[in-house]
Amino acid sequence: MPTDDIDASINQFAIDHKASIIISLHQVKSFVNSLFHKSITKRLAWHSKIPLMVINLK
């Protein structure tokens, strides 16, 4: 089921495919960039019903 809410779509995909974990890559953004683009990884951390593993990129 497509949706504009990316984190909800990722969660739904994981549930539909019986995933046991979601792996997300976290990349540090510049201050200005972070003002205009919200972190999907952060939203997944708060709203995911499936365990989340976050890998930090340098």
Summarised one tens digit per residue, pLDDT across range 8-51 is: 899 999 999 999 999 999 888 888 877 887 888 888 999 888 99
**Backbone dihedral region of 18: left (phi > 0), alpha (psi from -120 to 50 degrees) or beta?**
left
Sequence ranges of the domains in the chain: 6-57
Closest by Cα among 3, 10, 13 to 42: 10
pTM of this structure: 0.74
Write out the two tokens for 52.
Answer: 């989340």
End-to-end CA distance of the chain: 33
